[in-house]
Amino acid sequence: MPFPPDPMLPQSPPQGAGQLPLQGLSLLIVDDSRFTCDALRLVLQRAGARLRRAESLEIARLHLAFRRPDLAIVDLGLPDGRGEDLIAELSAEGLPVLGLSGDPEGREAALDAGATEFLEKPIASAAGLVRLIRQLVTGVGAIEKPDERSSPPGDPLALRDDLARAATLITAPGDPSYAKAFLRSLARAAGDASLEAAVQETHTAFDRAKLARLIEERIAVLSAMA
């Protein structure tokens, strides 16, 4: 399910407002989850950053061919390959990169590929993330990990869209590895421990059908809230 194109976000704070911490910085978010991207966008837009989003390696490279961001946030599991490949390319060019994954074991892979730092989904602290990005790009302030417990809010409609995509992926023929990784990461980002456990226990086609029904139940709840 392709995402709609992202417009450029406002580049200036409201009239009379003070300088925002990420004012003037250009960031590229490479992640296939609309739920994660929307949460990050809300936090980073409010901090003054200009954002572009790509849901695949291919689209990210198209963006990069025309515009170089000040920093990239790159998810490790993407539909057309591994984020570590893009991290290695960008870090070799001297661009600061934050690796991103719902799997804490992704830290070592991201850092080995050249990531400046690693973020685990769900993002623990909105304020900590903003301070970390500002330090990495501008050198202002001490480097810190965003470990305060103040998670960015999530958009239930974005979560519903991601779940609908996951339901299609998990029942599609072929290797379900990407679908399971996408859904596991989404469940962690949404704080849905029971869905995450169900993904972990999915091994057969019958399990995948059960998982699809579980996803549909969650979609129905989110649709009723809309």
pLDDT at 125: 85
Same domain, 123 and 173: no
Peptide bond into 122 cis (omega under 30): yes
pLDDT at 143: 52
pLDDT averaged over the chain? 86
pLDDT at 151: 55
H or E element at residue 17: none
H or E element at residue 117: strand 117-120
Q: Which residue has the tokens 């003070």?
A: 18
Residue 144 has pLDDT above 80, yes or no: no
Residue 149 has pLDDT above 70, yes or no: no
Residue 209 has pLDDT above 90, yes or no: yes
Same domain, 37 and 113: yes
User: Domain containing 172: what range?
Assistant: 156-225
Residue 16 domain flag: no
Residue 13 domain flag: no
Q: How much is the average pLDDT of 107-112?
A: 96
Same domain, 73 and 125: yes
Using an 8 Å Cβ cutoff, are 31 and 55 in contact? yes
Pairs from 111-114 (Cβ < 8 Å, separation ≥ 24): 112/84, 113/84, 113/85, 113/87, 113/88, 114/87, 114/88, 114/90
Same domain, 59 and 118: yes
Same domain, 161 and 118: no
Q: Which residue has the tokens 């059960």?
A: 210
CB atoms within 10 A of CB 29: 25
Same domain, 35 and 117: yes
pTM of the shown model: 0.84
The angle, 0 to 180 degrees and rounded to 10, between the axes of the packed helices 156-171 and 177-190 is 160
Same domain, 82 and 168: no
Q: Which residue has the tokens 């980002």?
A: 189
Q: How much is the average pLDDT of 44-57?
A: 95
Same domain, 46 and 120: yes
Same domain, 183 and 80: no
Residue 4 has pLDDT above 60, yes or no: no
Residue 3 domain flag: no
Residue 142 has pLDDT above 90, yes or no: no
Structural domain tally of the chain?
Answer: 2
Same domain, 104 and 200: no
End-to-end CA distance of the chain: 20
Same domain, 124 and 166: no
Q: How much is the average pLDDT of 113-136?
A: 91
pLDDT at 15: 40
Residue 181 domain flag: yes
Residue 147's pLDDT band, with cuts at 50, 70 and 90, is very low
pLDDT at 18: 58
Residue 208 domain flag: yes
Residue 136 has pLDDT above 80, yes or no: yes
